Structure 1
Amino acid sequence: MASFAGALTLGAGLMVAAAAPASAAGCSGSRLGNWPITGGYIAVFYNSSTGMNCAMTYTNKPGKKQYIRVDIWTTTASKRDAGNYTTYAGPVSVPGKGKCINFQGQVGANSPTEGFGPAYCS
């Protein structure tokens, strides 16, 4: 994952409000932001009760099965979900209390893997 360091720092200050589903289908807590990637976005959450950060990658064109991937990691833990999905990949969660998180996603097998971080340092 270190090979994505350039992409991670590239978008560290960028946040947008993309259209999101009414619920996060598995991520609990407060939505920290939506981060744009080619073909979709990564939604990031933090649950202050559990100290967990959670991420999901959404496609901008739901309905058709396509490769979607989401990764989230800290210095001590990492999680990934990837496969052929119609709407999103994830949720994936790691303990985030007192740590910075990194996350990346991909929508479409031929699209780049794009990520951000370190971010949301608590």
Structure 2
Amino acid sequence: MSSGRGTGRIRRRLTLGTAVLAAAVLLALAGPGTSSAQAVDGLCAGRKVRTLPFSTGRVDVFKSRGYVCAVAVAKRTGARKSMSVSVKARGGRPARDKGRYSHHAGPVTVHAGHRCVWVKGRISGRGVSSGWILC
């Protein structure tokens, strides 16, 4: 007769298999319906260092290896509206994106190195201006 050690091992494997299956199902269900925040995060490389909120949206600022990237995201998506976003490194020219978009303007990227940057964003006539940041 067996000592019962094999039964415990089988239970652990079944429990682990069930947990992996449940995680896979959750990932499959969450995958197609990713939120707009996750979709915007994929537009710029690096890590998010600032979020500049305003009444009609926000500007997300990312930094990676001396580059700064920004995206203006509308609070309400759907209809096209006037949007713009710009990033300027101190002493340089701004990178801009301006137009009529339904979801976001940008991404725009500048090489800042260790210099300060000025970020601006506007959606439907409302906006934000950061002043010199990331110094």
TM bin, normalised by shorter chain, reads 0.7 to 0.9
Q: 2:79 aligns with which of 52, 64, 81?
A: 64
Deviation for aligned residue 1:26: 2.1
AA matched with 2:85: V
Deviations 1:37-66 (A, max 9, x none): 230000000012xx2100010000011110
Structure 1: distance between partners of 2:131 and 2:76: 25
Give the root-mean-square deviation of aligned CA atoms. Answer: 1.6
Deviation for aligned residue 1:97: 1.4
Alignment partner, residue 28 of structure 1: 45
Q: For the Cα contact (< 8 Å) 1:67–1:85, is it kept in 2?
A: yes
- 1:61 counterpart SS class: coil
Q: For the Cα contact (< 8 Å) 1:38–1:106, is it kept in 2?
A: no
Higher helix fraction (1 or 2): 2
Structure 2: distance between partners of 1:43 and 1:20: 12
Structure 2: distance between partners of 1:77 and 1:98: 16
TM-score (structure 1 length as normaliser) = 0.75
Alignment partner, residue 43 of structure 1: 60
Structure 2: distance between partners of 1:37 and 1:115: 10
Runs (4+) off by over 3 Å: none
Structure 1: distance between partners of 2:121 and 2:58: 8
Alignment partner, residue 23 of structure 2: none
Structure 2: distance between partners of 1:20 and 1:45: 16
Structure 1: distance between partners of 2:70 and 2:80: 20
Q: 2:68 aligns with which of 53, 56, 75?
A: 53
Query: Does residue 114 of structure 1 match 2:128?
Result: yes
AA matched with 2:134: Y
Unaligned runs of 5+ in 2: 1-34
Deviation for aligned residue 1:81: 0.2
Unaligned runs of 5+ in 1: 1-18
Q: For the Cα contact (< 8 Å) 1:77–1:95, is it kept in 2?
A: no
